[in-house]
Amino acid sequence: MNNEMQVLFWILVFPGFVFTAVLGLLAAWIVRKVSALVQYRVGPPFLQPFWDVRKLLSKEVLIPQEANKWVFIGAPLVGLAGVLLLSTLLGVAAFWPQKTFVGDVIVAIYLMVLPSLALILGSSASASPHAAVGTAREMKLVMGYELPLVLAFIVVIIKSGGALGLAAIAETTPVASISGAVAFLVSLLCIHAKIGYVPFDMAEAETELGSGVLMEYSGGLLALWNLTSAMMLVALPMFLVVVYLGGFGTTPAGITIGLLKYVGVLVLIILIKNTNPRVRIDQAMRFFWIGCGLVLVTAIALATIGNIYDIGWL
């Protein structure tokens, strides 16, 4: 297999599209099923997320008259491409550590924001008043959580001694220290907001905006958004596992433990989702900037001190 073929295989099959989509829909089922159990419900059958996507694909795509057609259609493709590349990048870093390049973690952080930006683009192109409010909220939310996400990442870089490659970072376990644990928790919340679950689902907010940003999407385009968010359920927790929890390893035992870590992160996300009401957008921004920001500044200080005096647990 030559190099191009291998890259293509990575992107399209494993750890890219096929793998991430199947695992993502599976994760979506877990989220729905566990939420249902928490709420005394039965929950959907195992294949429901797959059926949902299949059914949406068979439905008519309606494009609002006033919408900017090409942006409206292009946005879900951009979003899907973003999360696809992100999961490929993370998967390669996890399973073929020698094939990574320096600075890939910066690429990962940029790719992570792509689906949200695509959502903002697509919904603002749809010319719906509900979507307009949703767009404004999504924009503010992105601005809210990007800052603490990057600040938290600084802690990781300090802990790993200035490494800028995913593979190198995966060899350290920042969460085993105070500053790292704090950074992990904050990142978890940022990831939660990125996925758009309660309490940070104000951009969709069914009972306020009637699914806001996604309001005008239907049929195949909506299926793409569903797929994108399902794949985010793989890529974003995987990012946390690689960056904070010591990665997956390459031995079968290491991969099993890595998968358990992934499931653990997923469970945390489900718990947060089911034990909180939706917060207002201004409250969310204040929480991310002031609350998380101050905590992270402290964490960075602790990590720096730990680094200078060689205290691992700080």
Partner 1 sequence: MNQQQLNTRISEIRDKLTAIEQKPDNRIWLSCESENAYAVNKFLFEEVPLRFVIATVIDSDDYFEVLYHYAYDEIGCMVTLKALIRDRENPAIESIAPFLPGAEWIEREMHDLMGIEFRNHPDMRRLILSDDWPVGVYPLRKDAKKPAERPDGEPSRRPTVQSQSPARRTVQLSKPVLPVGPFHPLQEEMELFQLAVDGEIVTDIDMRISYNHRGMEKIAETLQFDQVPFLVSRICGICSASHPLAYVQAVEEFAGITPPDRALYVRTIINELERIHSHILWVGLAGHFIGYDTVFMWAWKYREPVLDLLEEITGNRNNYGNVRIGGCREDIPDELKPKIIAEMDKIEKKMVMLTKAVLDDPVLHVRLKGIGILKKEDAINYCVTGPTARASGVDIDVRRDEPYAAYGVLNWNVITQPEGDVFAKAVVRLLETLEAIKIVKEALVKLPKGPVAIEVKQIPAGEGCGHAEAPRGETFHYVRSDGGNRPVRHKMRAPSYVNVPSFKASCLGGNIADVTITLASVDPCYSCTERLAVVKDRGGKVLHDYETLLKLSREKTEKIRKEIL
List of residues contacting partner 1 (CB under 8 A): 35, 38-41, 129-130, 132-133, 136-137, 198-199, 201-202, 205-210, 274-283
Compare residues 89 and 203 and give the one whose CB is closer to partner 1: 203
CB of 190 to partner 1, least distance (A): 18
Compare residues 171 and 282 and give the one whose CB is closer to partner 1: 282
CB of 199 to partner 1, least distance (A): 7
CB of 277 to partner 1, least distance (A): 4
CB of 200 to partner 1, least distance (A): 10
CB of 281 to partner 1, least distance (A): 7
Compare residues 171 and 206 and give the one whose CB is closer to partner 1: 206
Compare residues 130 and 261 and give the one whose CB is closer to partner 1: 130
Compare residues 38 and 163 and give the one whose CB is closer to partner 1: 38
CB of 210 to partner 1, least distance (A): 5
Spatial distance between the Cα atoms of 73 and 107, rounded to a whole number of angstroms? 25
Compare residues 250 and 275 and give the one whose CB is closer to partner 1: 275
